[in-house]
């Protein structure tokens, strides 16, 4: 039987963007996505050889689903520029590798995949779909299976049943009921996977569930009845089309010979030197790409997932006794906000051994379970949390320490932080737990967005059901512990790095907790006056810009600025964006400023507008009502150089070269009787080298 390999290229793009480090070419162009996607394509043909293969990508613009439901995918942010900039060279490289590419306007890549899969099935061709998209599980049948190259997961019919609890033919009904937060498709409010499975087990299909809606009691039954008119629309959005008109013959999807000359040139340009060894006779240099961790070093994830709900007084006392006996635990908090100074505790997860973890719900809105009161948790857990002899392990544990301080609990025994461990080992990588888990444990974590959604429809964690929270939060504590065990093994092999971690980063983190807690004092009046003055100056700049342009226009609109500069004024464009439009970026305007007054004025307007929105308007609103101070976060695991990075708000990039910027700095004041001291190393780099 012949085989067809369908690659969900759009899925590959975003997975590579989030998974790969910030690789750069010799010209400092971003190449991480290009490298990640090409690397996956290079390996997939070896693992799943096929007679026909094709990469399918989403077309630009809206699809028929937006006509059905205008808010479809409305919660998704614009594609990041660093990703968009890599698409065109990536497409050229894929074609040079001999891969056919398919893009069809008005539909999604999923619909093209669904149509080709059905066509192949009707002609007795076996289909393998490479994707990370759960929606495509609806296409699985006797001749079609899914593969996830990131997790090595293979979903045939039984695989779908094992993962979702239902066969492929019910995936559409299942997703229609629970909704798809990633694509902004609502389901039945307050109905999660367990309830959906229960209904499908009892009534067999969505149509039957709707038919018997009056028999379903409680809040979920009421919500189901309210959703009846929507569900058919939701189902049409989730159903993948399989009847598109794609006039293509299978032989057109046969893999073509590689354009070796073009690939060699491409690999050299983007610094993929190690891949030059693919071609006989090439003068390949040593492989400069990061090497994967050897299998004998990688620790397999203990996937028992023995996760326990702690919601009785007796079970909490037993857990405290266990942790005292073990003398260590990983810990993670779930809250209703990312603002560590104001966030309220929703739950606490802890783990003492791989594969086992516990979740203590405290502030969920879910009425289906008992929850422990904060006073009882405080009485029995506080002594353990404040006991320095019991070692605490976390992922960005500084945040958790702040949360506990909101309840007058001072976390002691902070010994390990997996985020900092990863940063010390590879400072140029990303250090989020999900990425670390995939990289070091080969385990794909449940994502936060899968529980709370994205964008305007995102809920807070206290609205998540306790059933879902137990699995998600306990997994976080479990993964943190297992990551710690593996990363500590790697650090122990690098004594100099281990010393930096133990003697510098961990003590610094403990100090930063106190510094962040203290906050900084600002004079609100100075900022308000400065904001008013900047506002008046922006109006003056707008008037001058209108005079130079000969008409009013929106100075913040790149499109209108393009029309004025390169259309009406006839200025020759210096550079184009990935979409082919003339660029109005800062570098272009700076160069044009030497010859034209309007670009210079636009740059001045942009700088003042940013100063106003980022600092003079925003900082007064960020004053904590309890402390009267602004509390920034000092991030250790961001800059490759080892410097701290300030965020929420960013206090390290306030401009000082302009009078307006210096005025903003004057708003940072010391309490009465104190002074602010500024200290800096002189030529620190030269001193280190000496």
Question: Where in the chain are the domains?
Answer: 3-238, 306-518, 522-621+654-669
Is the pLDDT score of 188 beyond 70? yes
Among 175-184, 433-442, 627-636, 652-661, the minimum mean pLDDT is found in: 652-661
CA 262 to CA 397: how far, in whole Å? 48
Nearest of 332, 434, 429, 337 to residue 637 by alpha carbon: 429
Residue 390's pLDDT is what?
95
Q: Return the percentage of the chain with pLDDT > 70, whole number.
A: 95
**What is the torsional sign of CA 454, 458, 462, 465?**
negative
150 pLDDT band, cuts 50/70/90, is low
Question: Across residues 403-414, what is the average pLDDT?
Answer: 96
Residue 47's pLDDT is what?
86
CATH, range 522-621+654-669: 1.20.1060.10
Residue 685's pLDDT is what?
64
Question: Across residues 632-651, what is the average pLDDT?
Answer: 89
Is the pLDDT score of 287 beyond 70? no
Nearest-Å Rg of the Cα atoms of the chain is 28
Cβ atoms of 130 and 30 closer than 8 Å:
no
Among 274-283, 365-374, 476-485, 572-581, the minimum mean pLDDT is found in: 274-283
- In DSSP terms, 330 is beta-bridged to 351, 393
Among 76-85, 192-201, 222-231, the minimum mean pLDDT is found in: 76-85
Question: Across residues 379-397, what is the average pLDDT?
Answer: 96
Residue 281's pLDDT is what?
52
What dihedral angle (degrees, nearest 10) is formed by the CA atoms of 41, 46, 48, 53?
50
Query: Does 420 or 658 have the greater pLDDT score?
Result: 420
Question: Across residues 423-434, what is the average pLDDT?
Answer: 90
Q: Is the peptide bond before 649 cis (omega within 30 degrees of 0)?
A: yes
Q: Is 247 left (phi over 0), alpha (psi -120 to 50) or beta?
A: beta
- In DSSP terms, 554 is beta-bridged to none
Mean pLDDT, the chain, integer: 90
CA 76 to CA 65: how far, in whole Å? 15
Residue 283's pLDDT is what?
42
Query: Does 480 or 15 have the greater pLDDT score?
Result: 480
284 pLDDT band, cuts 50/70/90, is very low
Query: Does 17 or 601 have the greater pLDDT score?
Result: 601
Is the pLDDT score of 467 beyond 90? yes
Question: Across residues 108-124, what is the average pLDDT?
Answer: 95
CA 560 to CA 556: how far, in whole Å? 8
- Note the pLDDT tens digit of each residue in 202-253: 999 999 999 999 999 999 999 999 999 999 999 999 999 999 999 889 999 9
Is the pLDDT score of 286 beyond 50? no
- In DSSP terms, 361 is beta-bridged to 347
Residue 504's pLDDT is what?
94
Options 3.40.225.10, 3.30.420.10, 3.40.718.10, 3.60.20.10; CATH for 306-518 is: 3.30.420.10
CATH, range 3-238: 3.40.50.1010
Among 309-313, 362-366, 483-487, 675-679, the minimum mean pLDDT is found in: 675-679
CA angle at 300 for the pair 299 and 305, rounded to the nearest 5°: 125
Q: What element of type H or E holds 346?
A: strand 345-353
Query: Does 663 or 323 have the greater pLDDT score?
Result: 323
Cβ atoms of 209 and 203 closer than 8 Å:
yes
- Note the pLDDT tens digit of each residue in 294-305: 333 344 688 888
Cβ atoms of 273 and 283 closer than 8 Å:
no
Nearest of 198, 196, 197, 178 to residue 188 by alpha carbon: 178
Is the pLDDT score of 134 beyond 80? yes
Whether 3-238 shares its CATH topology with 522-621+654-669 is answered no
Is the pLDDT score of 553 beyond 80? yes
What dihedral angle (degrees, nearest 10) is formed by the CA atoms of 338, 339, 341, 347?
-20
Residue 189's pLDDT is what?
92
- Note the pLDDT tens digit of each residue in 476-514: 999 999 999 999 999 998 889 999 999 999 999 999 999
90 pLDDT band, cuts 50/70/90, is very high
Residue 690's pLDDT is what?
59
Is the pLDDT score of 282 beyond 70? no
């Amino acid at each position: 039987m012949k085989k067809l390999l369908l690659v969900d290229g759009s899925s590959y793009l975003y997975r590579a963007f989030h998974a790969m480090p910030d690789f750069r070419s010799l010209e400092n162009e971003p190449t991480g996505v290009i490298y990640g996607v090409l690397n996956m394509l290079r390996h997939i043909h070896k693992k799943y050889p096929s007679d026909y293969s094709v990469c399918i990508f989403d077309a630009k613009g809206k699809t028929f689903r937006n006509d059905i439901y205008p808010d479809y995918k409305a919660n998704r942010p614009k594609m990041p520029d660093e990703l968009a900039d890599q698409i065109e060279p990536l497409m050229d490289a894929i074609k040079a590798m001999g891969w056919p590419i398919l893009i069809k306007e008005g539909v999604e890549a999923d619909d093209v995949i669904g149509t080709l899969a059905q066509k192949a099935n009707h002609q007795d061709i076996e289909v393998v779909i490479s994707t990370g998209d759960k929606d495509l599980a609806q296409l699985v049948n006797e001749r079609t299976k899914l593969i996830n190259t990131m997790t090595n997961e293979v979903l045939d019919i039984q695989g779908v049943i094992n993962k979702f609890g239902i066969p492929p033919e019910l995936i559409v009904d299942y997703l229609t009921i629970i909704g798809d937060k990633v694509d902004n498709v609502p389901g039945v409010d307050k109905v999660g996977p367990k309830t959906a499975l229960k209904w499908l087990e009892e009534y067999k299909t969505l149509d039957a569930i709707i038919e018997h809606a009056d028999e379903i009691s409680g809040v979920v039954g009421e919500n189901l009845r309210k959703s009846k008119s929507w569900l058919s629309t939701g189902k049409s959005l989730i159903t993948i089309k399989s009847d598109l008109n794609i006039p293509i013959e299978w032989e057109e999807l046969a893999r073509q010979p590689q354009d070796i000359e073009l690939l060699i040139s491409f690999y050299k340009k983007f610094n993929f030197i190690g891949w030059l060894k693919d071609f006989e006779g090439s003068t390949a240099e040593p492989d400069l790409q990061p090497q994967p961790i050897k299998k004998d070093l990688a620790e397999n994830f203990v996937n028992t997932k023995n996760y326990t709900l702690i919601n009785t007084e007796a079970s909490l006392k037993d857990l405290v006794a266990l942790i005292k006996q073990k003398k260590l635990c990983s810990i993670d908090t779930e809250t209703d906000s990312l603002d560590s100074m104001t966030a309220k505790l929703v739950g606490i997860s802890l783990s003492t051994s791989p594969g086992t973890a516990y979740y203590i719900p405290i502030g969920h809105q879910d009425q289906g379970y008992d929850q422990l009161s904060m006073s009882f948790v405080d009485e029995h857990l506080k002594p353990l949390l404040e006991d320095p002899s019991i070692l605490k392990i976390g992922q960005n544990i500084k945040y958790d320490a702040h949360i506990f301080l909101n309840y007058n609990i001072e976390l002691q025994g902070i010994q390990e932080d997996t985020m900092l461990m990863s940063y010390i080992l590879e400072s140029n990588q990303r250090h989020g737990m999900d990425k670390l888990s995939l990289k070091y444990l080969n385990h794909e974590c449940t994502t936060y967005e899968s529980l709370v959604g994205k964008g305007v429809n995102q809920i807070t964690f206290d609205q998540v059901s306790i059933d879902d929270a137990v699995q998600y939060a306990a997994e976080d504590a479990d993964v943190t512990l297992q990551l710690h065990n593996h990363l500590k093994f790697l650090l122990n092999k690098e004594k100099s790095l281990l010393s930096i971690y133990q003697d510098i980063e961990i003590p610094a983190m403990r100090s930063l907790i106190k510094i962040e807690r203290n906050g900084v004092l600002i004079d609100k009046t100075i900022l308000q006056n400065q904001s008013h003055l900047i506002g008046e100056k922006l109006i003056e700049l707008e008037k001058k810009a209108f005079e130079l342009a000969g008409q009013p226009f929106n100075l913040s609109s790149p499109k209108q600025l393009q029309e004025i500069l390169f259309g009406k004024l006839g200025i020759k464009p210096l550079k184009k964006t990935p979409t082919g439009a003339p660029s109005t970026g800062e570098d272009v305007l700076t160069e044009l400023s030497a010859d034209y007054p309007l670009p210079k004025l636009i740059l001045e307007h942009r700088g003042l507008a940013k100063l106003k929105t980022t600092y003079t308007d925003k900082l007064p609103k960020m004053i904590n009502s309890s402390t009267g101070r602004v509390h920034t976060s000092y991030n250790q695991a961001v800059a490759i150089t080892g410097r701290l990075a300030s965020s929420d708000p960013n206090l390290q990039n306030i401009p000082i070269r302009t009078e307006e910027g210096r005025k903003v700095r004057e708003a940072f004041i010391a309490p009465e009787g104190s002074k602010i001291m500024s200290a800096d190393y002189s030529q620190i780099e030269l001193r280190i080298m000496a």
